[in-house]
Each structure stands twice: as C-alpha cells, then as structure tokens.
Structure 1
Amino acid sequence: MTAARGRPTLTERRRQETRMEIAEAAAALFADQGYDATTVEDIALAAGISLRTFYRYCAAKEDALTPVLTSSVGQLVEQLATRPVDEPLTSAVRAAFGMSTSARRLADTERARRLIRVMGSVPAIRMRWMAAGRDMQDRLVPVLAARTGAPQDSLEVRLLACALIDAITVATEHWARQDDPEDVAELTRRALDYLRVDELQATAGPRSPSPSP
C-alpha cells in the first residue's frame, strides 16, 4: 500500500530501508571475505537484525543483494529520464551515470570491483544480476520511446534498450577485471561509442510507411 500521490507509506519506507541495510551488509561481506565464506548469520549480524528478520526479507543469502542491483537500475533510469530528449543518447547516459548514487559508490574502487567480480562469478547471484538487467531494459523502454518518438513495443526501441544495458554491463565487468582499472565512466563511453548508440537512437524513430506497390 502507498500513501496519497504514490508516496510509500512509513511502513513501506522502513521495509525498504531494512532491505537496503541487509543488501549493503551483504555487499560489504561478499566483497571483503568472499561469497562462500559469508554466512547468513554474518549478514544478519552486520545488518544488526535477527535471523528471523533476515529470512522475512530474503529466502537465501544470494537474495540479499537484490536491492543493490535494483536500486542501481532505478537510479540510472530515473536520471536518464530527466535528460533533454534532443540530447545525444551517449551524452545523456554519461550524465545519468555520473549523477547516479550507485555510480558514486564505485569511488570505493577496490571493494566495488571485488563485489562485481563476485556478482559475475557466483551463478546464483549472476542470475539475479541478469534479471536486474532485464528489469532495467523494461524500465528503459518508455524513456527511450519518448526520446525516439517510436512506439514502446517497437523492435527498434527494445533493441536499443538491450544494447544500452549490455554496453554498461560489459564495461562495468571489464573495469572490475582490470589490474590497473580505467575510469568506469570512460569505459562506458567507449562501449556506447563502439555500439554507435546515437546512430541506433536516430534509426529507432518513427518509420515512414512503405510506398504502395
């Protein structure tokens, strides 16, 4: 249930805060001591909650990171939605990425890189990361449709959303694996330029009807 005008109720906001506290605790432990060495008890202790409370929010320890993944999704999409529709998509994504709270968390470089490697190497967590990426694609579709003027259900808009998320994901994973990491925002820009997403955006617009034979 939400309060008037779509604002979450106090109860729901407290639940969201608890979910994020669990996720932040799990992320720190997974990054610092590894996934296998971290127990549910460790996460609950670090989050300052009981095991019963942990299992009220998470079915298993691999579910603990879900709010981190979904919050990254939401923040990037929300920031992109505020950019001018006539701004080149590469520039808009770079600006949105730089404004994202989740992106700023990457300033803790070593911990962030270790966590991303965990997310990519643990099958159960990788599945949830892939699901978060698909969720981001779905949430990007209306934003990209507004920018291109194309219908939300068009093939071109769906492909553009997929290309955008895949570029960001691959750039971030590459950043995490480097011995001497480049700037993650610069890697993202290179990935977007390589895929020519600005050209994809231009071609995703309304298609002229085919001439009658």
Structure 2
Amino acid sequence: MSDDLRDLPLRERKKLRTRRALAETALRLFTECGYDATTLDDLCDAVEVSKRTFFRNYRSKEDVALAADSDLWSAYLDYVAAQEMNGPLIEALRMALDATLGAMDLDWDRRFLAARELSEAVPALQAHSLGYCQDTTRALVEAVSGRSGTDIDEVRLRLTVEIFVAAWRTASLRWTAQGGHGGREALTKLVEETFAEIPAALTSSA
C-alpha cells in the first residue's frame, strides 16, 4: 500500500488517514500502557474520533492491534485475484507474497514487528491471530479455486495453501525472534530460505 494518497478521492484519503491513526495510536498505547489497561475509549479519545468511527474501521481491539497483519493479507488476496498465476502453485503463491511485501508502505515493517511482539505477549491477541490465520487460509483457498482455468485437486490445493501459510509463519516468527533485524529485506530473505526448505522438510526422517 503506497504512502502516496494523492490519487485517491478526498473522502478515501481521510478514511485511510483515520484508519492509520487508529492503528498507530493503538500500537503505541498498547505497548506503553498495556493492552488490557487500554480501553477503546482511551484509544478513541487519543485519536479524537467517536466509537462509531472506530467500528467503521475495525471490529475490535484485537483487530486494530493486528492491523499490520490484515493490511498485508488484504493486499495479498487482492494481488492474487488480479494476477495471472503460472507454474507450480506454491511458487506462484510465494512470488505473490514477495511482490506484496515489496509494495507495503515504508513503516509497515515497524508496525508488523510491534504487532507480532504484542501478539506473543497477550493471549487474546494470540487467539485472534490464529483465528485470522484460519480465515485468511480459507479465503486464499477460495481465491485460488475460483480462478478460471485452475485445475487442481481440492485436497492438493488445500495442502498447498496450508504449507504456504505454515512457511510464512515460520519465516515471520524467525524474523520476529531476531527483533526484526535487517528489516523487510531480511524478512523477505527468510521467506525465500524457508520455502526452499519445504522439499527437504517433507522428506525428513522421523
């Protein structure tokens, strides 16, 4: 998602700025004051918006805390829907992820790392993250299976998408454990390295 909003209508620019302000302020308050100690009223007061405005942008505290995740996967699903995909499916999915990561705004790395660290520390966010992961996996299966010309067995499709998601989670958890060192370039490299390990992982001895 580009930081250049000039091509958007004024109404859309204002909406996107409000959404970003809520996400940025939520991460700051949750980190500085604690997730449980920060109420939606606190967040709305800090951004100077109503709760009604909040709920037009996010469904819950968990949703706004993990906005960096939903920003990435919303953009990813849009990319997959718009692009022609050829060759092995898992490689096509990985290349789409590389492209999506490269297109995220410059501050996304910091927000994603902060969201991951919060998720590791707050059980409610862990549960929400797992639920969101399941929803995204289901949406990706539907997006791929709904493409014209796609000819892949349903079981293989679901296995491929599950492996893709597991590889991403493995890479992103490694990056988070390293404190986000190296930024997005390092994250992208970890993604590539992790996907390269899939064949060996599937044939590893017990």
TM class by smaller structure: 0.5 to 0.7
Once the 2 structures are TM-superposed, how far is the Cα of residue 30 of structure 1 from its aligned partner? 3.1
Q: Distance in 1 between matches of 2:122 and 2:93?
A: 28
Equivalent residue number for residue 136 of structure 1: 136
Report if the CA contact (8 A) 1:31-1:111 is conserved: no
Question: Cα deviation per residue 1:168-191 (whole Å; 9 max; x = unaligned)?
Answer: 122112201115735101111122
Report if the CA contact (8 A) 2:68-2:111 is conserved: no
Deviates more, 1:63-72 or 1:14-23: 14-23
RMSD: 3.8
* TM-score, with length taken from structure 1: 0.65
Query: 1:187 and 2:197 equivalent?
Result: no
Query: 1:149 and 2:131 equivalent?
Result: no
Q: Which runs of 5+ in 1 are unaligned?
A: 1-9, 200-213
Question: Cα deviation per residue 1:135-171 (whole Å; 9 max; x = unaligned)?
Answer: 11111113443586125xx222112111111211221
CA gap 1:165/1:28 in 2 versus in 1, 3 angstroms:
farther
Q: Which runs of 5+ in 2 are unaligned?
A: 1-9
SS of corresponding position for 1:138: helix
> How many residue pairs are counted as aligned between the two chains?
187
Which protein has the larger Cα radius of gyration, Structure 1 or Structure 2? 1
Equivalent residue number for residue 43 of structure 1: 43
Report if the CA contact (8 A) 2:90-2:160 is conserved: no
Look up the equivalent residue of 1:115 and give its one-letter code.
A
Q: Distance in 2 between matches of 1:45 and 1:26?
A: 11
Report if the CA contact (8 A) 1:19-1:67 is conserved: no
Equivalent residue number for residue 124 of structure 2: 124
Equivalent residue number for residue 211 of structure 1: none
* TM-score, with length taken from structure 2: 0.67
Once the 2 structures are TM-superposed, how far is the Cα of residue 65 of structure 1 from its aligned partner? 3.1
CA gap 1:86/1:14 in 2 versus in 1, 3 angstroms:
same
